[in-house]
Amino acid sequence: MVKSHRRFRKVSYAKMAPIVERVTDIPVIELGEGPHWDIQTESLYFVDLFGKAIHRYVPRTGQCTKAEVGRPFFLIECPSNKTKTATSRSSPDIVVRMTSSGMSTLGHCPGKHVSVIIPIKGNCQQFVIGLERELSLVTWDGISEKPSKIEKIADVDKGTQNRMNDGKCDANGRLWVGTMGPEPINGHVEPDLGSLYSWNKGKLQQHLTNLGVSNGLAWSSDSKKFYFTDTFTYKVDEFDYDIENGTISNRKTIFTPNKHGIKGSPDGMTIDVDGNLWMALFNGYKIVKFDPRKPETLLKTIDIPAKQVTSLAWGGPQLDILYVTTAGFTVDGEVLPPPDHGATYQITGLGTKGLPAASCVLIMAPKILRVAEIPNLVLGEGPHWDIETQNLYIVDIFGKSIHKFNASTGQHSKAIFDKPVSFIVPVKGQRNKFVISLEREICVITWDGISERPSKIEKLAEVDQDTQNRINDGKCDPRGRLWAGTMGPEPEPGHFQPEAGSLFSLDGGEVTTFATKVGISNGLAWNTKLGKFYYNDSLVKRVDEFDYDINSGVISNRKTIFTFSKHDIDGLPDGMTIDADGNLWVAVFNGSSVIKIDPRKPETLLETIKVPAKQTTSVAWGGIDLNILYVTSASMTVDGVELLPPNHGATFQITGLGTKGLPADNFVSE
């Protein structure tokens, strides 16, 4: 039996009343705010706004840890010609400027208030926090006294002395955060200077202005309503909410505390599974429960033994514990002594429970970088990330070469052939073995990844015999079968013989043809959960879907799911991949872009990412976490238009896409 380490101070109330307990494992803090229960780690995160620290509390062990993120620092001069930083556990950071004049204190730089902490979805050690007017990404192990990394991702209310206050995420992981004016004296905030923002995909959008203190964010369970309070107005407002676009409209007041004789200012807020709102009352010694669907309907009040009740959040394994933060800072000479003021409380016996708090989906504005270690290619194609070796393999079709790139070392190598090679896929379980195409032949080669020529080439099959066709795109399905397609002759770059190609699979040494009269066979991807296969014939400018039987390797019931002309997309659909969310990413040849589409919703274009190369050819997920999208391109001269390096023909990597890929499947030999 595991002994519980939880320690609480029980506060006596009338019989059958909810039980309010001070969590004694959590120290008394000056301004506790922003409680967030993370269901993945079963931890309560919150901030000490004036203490400039983030906190983590694990009820199962009773462990409470904190990291200081907004500490003040002193600027000091001393002899030398460098600048360095020294820190102390018990004092502010000391920034030392080395000069030839001797050591002297130049000044004290105050730290930054920290107002929000929300975990990043899918990463238990990353959080988005508010630091004064900066949204920052913090890496913290939940134990150390300092985060290992702080990276600013956005600024709000630039050029002001404002600071952020409350912040939460909607069900889609979109961050909402509000600000308030300067507070030169505790409890005295300059009015009408705050704003309400949302942050999504690296973009900041302002929704409300002229706010006093932005507070109390909550959403209905169906995400159709958004609840908000500007503390200075002493009321709670409701908006219609568009979850897809992240917009609010039709503001109306639904609850006014002073109409019910309730003292204090509306502060943090949360919602329960029954659709009722729970709100903290700053300077009111209580929290209240009310029904937002019935304006001005007060359901319950619960007294808290702390005057400055700041916020609340549902937590615990069953989400039936209401955690309440408070403050204990001095306003107008009134001292609020510990242990009750500034404590964190838990309330049980409420007869309801909460909804899981949404984590932040980190979708930054995508960053596109050219991979300088990979040389410019004539026709870069067929990117394949091998998770076993953490290598990226690509081909140069017209350069008749295969390429290997190790992202961790930056090492690049290649091997040359006598015929065009259009794909390269490692052979599963066989080191230095790869399946490739050589014009119309499918071969297994032995290559050490270094030498300029393979040591062995073994022909497995030949397709489209007695033609001038060549194989184009090729990949393996989840069973390790090879799927590839052909295209007609290309007497001049960019000019193809139409309807001469085919689509086939190689399984157990047997070639099976599934489609004929193909223009340019391209873009292979699978969704095994849905039993779907996705395919492009570039010349018809569309993406098609087939039903897919993973056991037999048979495709059927072809239908179109995305048509370039319907979305005014210039260029041709080329290579394609799928992400972990089931969305497709398609390279647009002659379109300088990669598009993201939802194959489950025909004709749904989700995103367009511009690439600084006209002839974008293919895409593949890579990196340790499979969250880097590698993009190949070409630099062919078509109709006299010359495409110059360094961008045309380059290989690019795109990060900050907010999703990741699935491991690429390797070839299973007979």
- 293 labeled binding residue: no
648 backbone φψ class: left, alpha, beta (φ>0; ψ -120 to 50):
beta
Beta-strand relationship, 501-507 and 510-518: antiparallel
User: What's the average model confidence in pLDDT over 375-384?
Assistant: 97
Q: Is 472 annotated as a binding residue?
A: yes
The reply to whether 367-655 shares the fold of 19-71+109-348 is yes
Please tell me which residue in 574, 581, 625, 639 is annotated as part of the active site.
574
The model's pLDDT over 179-191, given as tens digits with 9 standing for 90+, comes to 999 999 988 999 9
Instruction: Indicate if the pLDDT at residue 358 is higher than 70.
Output: yes
Q: Is 250 annotated in some ligand binding site?
A: no
Contacts of 57 (CB under 8 A, 6+ apart): 23, 25, 26, 43, 44, 45, 46, 63, 64, 344
Whether the CB-CB separation of 514 and 505 falls below 8 Å is answered with yes
pLDDT of residue 658: 82
Residue 550 has pLDDT above 70, yes or no: yes
Domain ranges of the chain: 19-71+109-348, 367-655
pLDDT tens digits along 382-402: 999 999 999 999 999 999 999
Residue 440 annotated as binding site: no
574 is catalytic: yes
Q: Could you tell me how far CA 430 lies from the centroid of its own chain?
A: 35
- Cα 418 from Cα 139, distance rounded (Å): 50
Using CB atoms within 10 Å of the CB of residue 2, give its burial: 0 to 12 exposed, 13 to 18 middle, 19+ buried.
Answer: exposed
Rounded to whole angstroms, the Cα distance separating 440 from 421 reads 9
Owner of token pair 């169906």:
222
Q: What percent of the chain has pLDDT over 90?
A: 86
- State the pLDDT at residue 327: 97
CATH of 367-655 given 2.120.10.30, 3.40.190.10, 3.30.70.860, 3.30.540.10: 2.120.10.30
pLDDT confidence tier of residue 9, bands split at 50, 70 and 90: low
**Closest Cα to residue 42, out of 443, 260, 319?**
319
Specify the range with the lowest mean pLDDT, choosing from 76-80, 338-342, 438-442.
Answer: 76-80
Phi/psi at 569 (5° precision): -95, 120
Residue 16: predicted pLDDT: 61
- In order of 256, 340, 509, 525, the CA distances from 296 in angstroms are 7, 30, 74, 54
Distance, CA of 313 to CA of 272 (rounded, Å)? 10
Q: What percentage of the chain has pLDDT greater than the value 70?
A: 91
Please give the pLDDT value at position 202. 82
Say if residues 41 and 124 touch (Cβ distance below 8 Å).
yes
Q: What is the pLDDT of residue 71?
A: 57
Q: Which residues contact 128 (CB under 8 A, 6 or more apart)?
A: 116, 117, 118, 120, 135, 136, 137, 138, 153, 175, 360, 362
Is residue 670 part of an annotated ligand binding site? Answer: no
Q: Report the alpha-carbon distance of residue 495 to residue 468 in Å, rounded.
A: 14
pLDDT at residue number 98: 32
595-649 residue pLDDT tens: 999 999 999 999 999 999 999 999 999 999 999 999 999 999 999 999 999 999 9
For 417-451, write each residue's pLDDT tens digit. 999 999 999 999 999 999 999 999 999 999 999 99
User: Which pLDDT tens digit goes with each residue over 516-526?
Assistant: 999 999 999 99
| Beta pairing class for 73-79 and 91-99 | parallel
264 falls in which pLDDT band (50, 70, 90)?
very high
Considering only 59-73, 528-542, 645-659, which range has the smallest mean pLDDT?
59-73
- How far apart CA 349 and CA 315 sit, in angstroms, is 13
* Residue 49 reports pLDDT greater than 70: yes
Closest of 389, 368, 371, 369 to residue 380, by C-alpha: 371
How far apart CA 555 and CA 542 sit, in angstroms, is 18
Residues in the chain: 670
Listed in sequence order, the residues at least 6 apart from 312 whose beta carbon sits closer than 8 Å to its beta carbon are 35, 268, 269, 270, 278, 279, 280, 287, 322, 323, 324, 325
Q: What is the pTM of this model?
A: 0.61
Q: Tell me whether residue 22 is annotated as binding.
A: no
* Three-state helix/strand/coil letters over 457-524: EEEEEECCCCCCCEEEEEEECCCCCEEEEEECCCCECCECCCCCEEEEEEECCEEEEEEEEECEEEEE
Please tell me whether residue 51 adopts helix, strand or coil conformation.
Answer: coil
Over 50: is that where the pLDDT of 196 sits? yes
Is 367 a residue whose pLDDT tops 80?
yes
Q: Which fold has domain 19-71+109-348?
A: Neuraminidase (2.120.10)
